[in-house]
């Protein structure tokens, strides 16, 4: 690995990095398979447990706990090292998976998904941080391509398993399958990854973490339940929005005074880091908006099986690693800003195609649009993250990576919540199967919202420094 000042130790030698990269790919596979396997099983889970209007919480609560825990894990990783943090995350993710498999109701499943999210908050950012530690700037795009290829493989494996379990077994197995994979990932990391960290006393900003968690939870609650459990203009709705906003402001004030803030505000004050965080926010909205609703649209409106809908969604994460692995050649020649803008343009094209395909959905049309979106996101997500990592040293890299992943997770959580509120508002208490024409309108609105997010991400990318480096 590297020392806290960024000086390579023995693990940095090329011959010794292969096993570590394999361990990181398997670790990433934990999150990737879970993301792709669950979406295809949602209709089956809803049929068994009920609560169609509550199913967005399966994604939002996971993304919320993932998001709010990322800054804490990232701070820990910069102080005690990456290895213990990622192993803790794997353990929590496995525990949450087992609990989800035994869930007896939709509220119980939602609660146990929160435990999974706490584990995911350590796993994915630490894998990316470790890769940034042991590979050079010129090598990182290729390595990010390898890691992204895990999502491509999972895009085939996950939906296949999800479809098979939903049709021929029980949906509970989509969670139980995580346990052996978690054990393999932990074993590979313990065996292959070694680091030397100069530990010194540090204080974790638990107060900031609590304020962030409660404020975001209230805002998501207001988004998901508004217009369903209560009227938008009502005491519960306005109270949740108001209290959430007040606590978020209190969080900002607390971070200014904290000696070691959980989310240092300097991360957002630097132009490059703040802009890449905004780009990550947009990527999160786009990714989860598509992942959440494509399978449901295909299964409800087209009538395909969970297996076919999952494989159609897989085109998104097949296109992503193809472009991510080639992005290094582009940003080394043209710069980070130009590369990200190219990706944003392709993403806008793909999301526009998806919005058009939603008016008359088909497997071919939606699959082609998802593939184009994936190609675009590969040129957006990896270069923007690498640009942020390249601007800091070892002691700040965990926080910077965590801030970027935090922004992406918040985008995913808020995106799912906002689009879910939009869909629930259109359905007005009707189920998707009971009112297919109404659901077609809701699906079109959902994909139009994804297109709007792609346009917003492009606007944010325009603010990137032209040389891809922080000013000054």
Q: What is the per-residue pLDDT across 25-59, written as a single tens digit (0 to 9) for each? A: 888 888 877 776 776 677 778 777 766 666 677 87
Residue 302 per-residue DSSP state: I
**Confidence class of residue 428 from pLDDT cuts 50, 70 and 90?**
low
Q: Identify the residue whose tokens are 């939002």.
A: 60
Position with higher pLDDT, 19 vs 413:
19
8 Å CB contact between 250 and 421 = no
List CB contacts of 341: < 8 A, sequence separation 6 or more: 458, 461, 462, 464
Q: Show the tokens assigned to 189.
A: 């990391």
Confidence at residue 11, expressed as pLDDT on a 0 to 100 scale: 43
Tell me phi and psi for residue 432, to 5 degrees: -65, -35
3-state secondary structure of 468: coil
CATH class of 10-204+260-461: mainly alpha
List CB contacts of 159: < 8 A, sequence separation 6 or more: 36, 37, 39, 40, 295, 306, 307, 309, 310, 311, 313, 314
pLDDT at 130 over 60: yes
pTM of the model: 0.72
pLDDT at 15 over 70: no
3-state secondary structure of 465: coil
Residue 298 per-residue DSSP state: I
3-state secondary structure of 342: helix
**Measured distance between the N- and C-terminal CA atoms of the chain, rounded to whole angstroms:** 29
Instruction: Write the Ramachandran bin of 160: left for phi over 0, alpha for psi from -120 to 50, otherwise beta.
Output: alpha
Select the highest-mean-pLDDT range: 32-41, 61-70, 76-85, 112-121.
112-121
Q: Show the tokens assigned to 367.
A: 């699959």
């Amino acid at each position: 690995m590297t020392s806290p000042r960024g000086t390579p130790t023995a693990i940095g030698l090329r011959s010794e990095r292969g096993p570590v990269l394999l361990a990181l790919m398997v670790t990433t596979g934990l999150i990737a398979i879970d993301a792709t396997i669950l979406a295809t099983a949602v209709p089956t889970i809803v049929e068994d447990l009920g609560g169609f209007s509550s199913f967005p919480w399966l994604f939002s609560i996971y993304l919320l706990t993932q998001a709010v825990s990322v800054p804490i894990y990232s701070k820990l990783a910069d102080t005690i090292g990456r290895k213990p943090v990622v192993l803790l995350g794997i353990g929590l993710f496995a525990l949450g998976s087992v609990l989800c498999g035994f869930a007896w109701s939709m509220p119980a499943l939602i609660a146990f998904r929160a435990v999974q999210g706490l584990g995911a908050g350590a796993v994915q950012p630490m894998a990316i941080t470790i890769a940034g530690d042991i590979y050079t700037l010129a090598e990182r795009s290729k390595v990010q391509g390898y890691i992204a290829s895990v999502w491509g493989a999972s895009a085939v494996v996950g939906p296949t398993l999800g479809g098979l379990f939903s049709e021929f077994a029980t949906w509970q197995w989509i969670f139980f399958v995580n346990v052996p994979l978690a054990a393999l990932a932990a074993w590979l990391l313990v065996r292959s990854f070694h680091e030397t960290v100069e530990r010194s006393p540090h204080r974790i900003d638990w107060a900031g973490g609590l304020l962030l968690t409660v404020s975001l939870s209230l805002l998501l609650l207001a988004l998901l339940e508004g217009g369903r459990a209560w009227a938008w203009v009502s005491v519960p709705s306005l109270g949740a929005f108001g209290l959430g906003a007040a606590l978020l402001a209190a969080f900002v004030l607390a971070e200014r005074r904290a000696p070691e803030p959980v989310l240092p505000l300097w991360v957002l004050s630097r132009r490059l880091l703040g802009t890449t965080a905004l780009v990550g926010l947009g990527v999160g909205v786009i990714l989860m908006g598509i992942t959440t609703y494509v399978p449901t649209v295909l299964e409800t409106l087209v009538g395909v099986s969970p297996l076919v809908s999952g494989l159609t969604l897989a085109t998104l994460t097949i296109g992503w690693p193809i472009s991510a692995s080639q992005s290094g050649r582009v940003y080394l020649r043209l710069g980070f800003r130009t590369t990200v803008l190219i990706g944003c343009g392709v993403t806008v094209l793909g999301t526009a195609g998806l919005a058009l395909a939603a008016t008359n959905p088909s497997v071919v049309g939606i699959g082609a649009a998802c593939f184009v979106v994936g190609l675009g996101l590969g040129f957006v997500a990896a270069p923007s993250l690498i640009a942020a990592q390249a601007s800091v040293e070892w002691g700040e890299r965990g926080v910077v990576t965590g801030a970027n992943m935090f922004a992406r997770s918040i985008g995913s959580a808020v995106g799912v919540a906002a689009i879910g509120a939009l869909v629930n508002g259109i359905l007005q208490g009707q189920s998707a199967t009971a009112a297919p024409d109404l659901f077609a309108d809701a699906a079109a609105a959902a994909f139009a919202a994804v297109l709007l997010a792609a346009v917003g991400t492009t606007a944010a990318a325009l603010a990137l420094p032209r040389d891809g480096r922080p000013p000054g």
